[in-house]
Structure 1
Amino acid sequence: MAEAQKATKLWGGRFSGELDPLMVTYNESINFDKVFYAQDIKGSIAFARANVGTGILTKEEFAAIEKGLTQVLQEWKDGKFVIQHGIDEDIHTANERRGRSRNDQVATDLRMWLRDELREAEKFLVELLTILTDRAALDIDYLMPGYTHLQRGQPVRWSHWMLSYGSAFLGDLERLREVIKHVNKSPLGCGALAGNAFGIDRVAMAEELGFEGLIQNSMAGVGDRDFILEALQWASTLMLHMSRWSEDLIIYSTTEFGFVRLSDAYTTGSSLMPQKKNCDSLELLRGKSARLFGAMAGLTMTIKGIPSTYNKDLQESVQPMIESMKTVKDSVLIAARVLATLTVFPEKMLAALSPDMLATDLAEYLVRKGVPFRETHHISGRAVALAEKENIPMDKLTLAQFKGVDERIGDDVLEVFNYERSVELKSAIGGTSKSAVLKQIETLRKSL
């Protein structure tokens, strides 16, 4: 039995000793790289077709190979393909048994699968950004506190807050489109490491498989996993933004804030406290980001110490890639649905505003009267201190009290204490006025 098993392995002729059964399972990747079955078969068909051109195969032989591989593809689709553990160590040997050095085929499968996954993630991210811009346009009249250091700073539009993450997610979308270009290069025909000895047409194979160019060096073609690392780095940055977005919404959904409420579809209750509604969807988005960071860091450590071209360590790139792509796609979909079904309470947002948040507006009011800002900042600060000392809101100070702070404060000072006026003054590009926010929405939509 051991001899029969060795004979079925593509590399079995070199070895006389029996493989430790634990080593057999330790070496296998078929349990997770079986997801590449379609890419592997398409690559094999393209390779066989190209070998008609080299004279290695006749047209009749290619037709028979294509027919057989198409049958194997259908077996996988129908769930009828039977994996033989101990023999089918990976997807390539499994398909070979049912139907060459595998190094270039491994890299080809990975690139094709990852390319398709990233394109799907791109579609989901566009959907999220579309929902975000639509919501920003719908909710444009709602005002809320803008925070720095988690302390109330200045009034802003709720839409402006949403678009701050829209800007981050747009950056992620632009980076993703660049990553897809880097992934979508063909290594097929690179052989084990030195290239192909039969003049195979690598360009024709690449075009058949939808690649947009070739890996120009055969050693790089089989030994490079930077494209997976780059995809995980991109995913980590996206999930970093997703985590911060989730944290804001978790805070805004607390009773202390009460700005938003999540749909029941994306929350759970407490097993002990009946009144609670927990933001599990957002907490999981925040938590799963750490798994992606770990996968990216782990693959970095795997790659950094191995010598050139293919080494078995590179097999460890497959599982984190598969798991990370599922996590990132699911996360973007969950985020989109949370945002689409979110209930907003603009009256709570408005109630959270306070006149002291217009202290900068008071300083800017004095700048318009010709007072240097280095002075107006100090004057405004003294007015804040006076209101605190009197234990009254800043807009309840009398005109005499304001003039007592600085005689250059005019009779029209109370016009400053208007939240709508405050946000509308921020009309420069990127600001929180209605016109500036609408411009952001327009720009973001064009980028999609």
Structure 2
Amino acid sequence: MFNHDSFYWINQIEKASTLMTFQEGIVTQAVAQKVALALQQLAAGSKRPHDYYEIQPMLLELTGSEGSMIHVGRSWQDIQATLHRLLVRDRLLYLYYLSLETRKRLLNLAHDNLDSIVPSYTYGVQAQPVTLGHLLLGYEATLARTTQRFSAYFVRLKKCPLGAAALATSSFPINRAALADFLGFEGYVENAFDAAKTQPVILG
């Protein structure tokens, strides 16, 4: 669950670019189909490098130079920034899921132990006794704040950098809204400098 590696997400970025460039008339249907088939072959293979510069030659070996046409309006800068967000988003969603599951269990345990008395301590000295339910709700409350932080951070991850290229975007008719939608984002980072400044984190 939510454990996709860099190879998987680079492949998804390539799929999004292929579909977008075809829809915008940048590449022909024949080229798009050739690239789509090549991407399918790569996904089914056993070789899964994490570096885009290793994956790109693998794609071109299957498609010939035509495969590079899906790269128009892109740069390694916006690709790596997009890859970074996808990897972090993937794992943040998993952490969010785990935090909710943990909180649910704590709440259930607290409900079942409303009258269970347990000792409590201050600085190692036994002090006022409390209920186990009260103690567990204290742990749940701290975890709830962490969940809120996840939610706030996720808002910042919902914008897609792809299609911003490196400096001043591109003269090609790049549909950045479509790229964002294909990759599950809710819009795109508008300023190209802002979009491409994120450095990559390679995870699994």
Q: Bin the TM-score by the shorter chain.
A: 0.7 to 0.9
Shift of 1:82: 6.8
Alignment of 1:236-315 (within 5 A): 314-315=199-200
- Distance in 2 (CA, whole Å) between partners of 1:213 and 1:147 is 51
Root mean square deviation of aligned Cα: 2.0
Check whether the contact 1:186–1:213 (CA below 8 A) recurs between aligned residues.
Answer: yes
- Distance in 1 (CA, whole Å) between partners of 2:47 and 2:17 is 22
Shift of 1:201: 0.5
Alignment of 1:369-384 (within 5 A): none
Check whether the contact 1:181–1:212 (CA below 8 A) recurs between aligned residues.
Answer: no
The aligned residue for residue 96 of structure 1 is 56
- Distance in 2 (CA, whole Å) between partners of 1:126 and 1:82 is 32
The aligned residue for residue 57 of structure 1 is 27
The aligned residue for residue 68 of structure 1 is 38
The aligned residue for residue 47 of structure 2 is 81
- For residue 177 of structure 1, give the secondary structure of its aligned residue in structure 2: helix
Q: In structure 2, give the amino acid aligned to 1:209.
A: L
Q: In structure 2, give the amino acid aligned to 1:98.
A: M
Check whether the contact 1:107–1:222 (CA below 8 A) recurs between aligned residues.
Answer: yes
- Distance in 2 (CA, whole Å) between partners of 1:161 and 1:95 is 52
Which of 9, 19, 44 is matched with 2:14 structurally? 44
Which of 123, 134, 138 is matched with 1:160 structurally? 134
- For residue 27 of structure 2, give the secondary structure of its aligned residue in structure 1: coil
- Distance in 1 (CA, whole Å) between partners of 2:182 and 2:121 is 53
Q: In structure 2, give the amino acid aligned to 1:129.
A: R
Alignment of 1:304-343 (within 5 A): 314-315=199-200, 318=201, 322=203
Q: 1:149 to 1:114 in 2, by over 3 A?
A: same
Which of 189, 194, 208 is matched with 2:182 structurally? 208
TM-score by length of 2: 0.83
Q: In structure 2, give the amino acid aligned to 1:180.
A: F
The aligned residue for residue 63 of structure 2 is none
Check whether the contact 2:7–2:48 (CA below 8 A) recurs between aligned residues.
Answer: no
Alignment of 1:338-349 (within 5 A): none
Alignment of 1:132-211 (within 5 A): 132-211=106-185
- Distance in 1 (CA, whole Å) between partners of 2:132 and 2:191 is 51
- Distance in 2 (CA, whole Å) between partners of 1:169 and 1:194 is 42
Check whether the contact 1:185–1:214 (CA below 8 A) recurs between aligned residues.
Answer: yes
Query: For residues 158-215 of structure 1, what are the alpha-carbon distances to aligned partners after superposition, in whole Å with 9 as ceiling and x for unaligned?
Result: 1111110100001111211221221121000011222122020000111111001211
The aligned residue for residue 120 of structure 1 is 94
Unaligned 5+ segments in structure 2 are: 60-70
- Distance in 1 (CA, whole Å) between partners of 2:9 and 2:31 is 21
| Segments of 4+ moved more than 6 angstroms | none
- Distance in 2 (CA, whole Å) between partners of 1:154 and 1:141 is 15
Q: In structure 2, give the amino acid aligned to 1:178.
A: A
- Distance in 1 (CA, whole Å) between partners of 2:90 and 2:147 is 15
Higher helix residue share? 1
Higher relative contact order (CA 8 A, sep 6+): 2
Q: 1:172 to 1:210 in 2, by over 3 A?
A: same
